Amino acid sequence: MSRPDSEAPKAKHKRTENPNQIYITAGLVLVGALVFGLVLLPRFDPNKSPLVSEAAPDFALEVIHEGEEGNRIRLSNLRGKPVLLDFWASWCGPCRMQAPIVDQIAREYGDRVHVVGVDTGDSREPAQVFAKQAKLSYPCVFDPDGATAKGYGVSTLPTLVLIDKDGTVRMVRSSVMQRDALKAALEPLLD
């Protein structure tokens, strides 16, 4: 009489794994994780701009607040002191949170740092109204076609760019940056 398959004796599985194979596999996984974490992951950092350590792209933009309207600010004329650029728009909620922080920095550091607001992706009138209502103490310029923002790789607002006294980009941050963190980034650039 033949037995149904379910009643057939079960074959024993013999372990053929080498104990060293487990260590080799674990080691390879660890090396792969280290390579990913140390080499590849930093390349995905949204705050790591290819502009850092490069010459800041020059621009000449029209003043719309805190200066002679219609005059232009040329970035290359600001060399000799650190420059903080704040890319913003009047319709941007996080920009409205960033503006008072940047204003505190402008007031605190006075003539030791050039602070310039760069309104981009906006219309002139709402930008002027916002800057006036926020009582920004620093000059703001108008980037009507977004060319300057594009030159700095700005895709998110607000974006802060910190440039040293020689015109080299030292930081690009696309998020709201708190006052203490901004001061910590700025302090090493002061004489």
Catalytic residues: 92, 95
Q: Which amino acid is at 177?
A: M
Q: If we measure between CA atoms, which residue out of 141, 157, 176 comes closest to residue 64?
A: 141
Amino acid identity at 68:
E
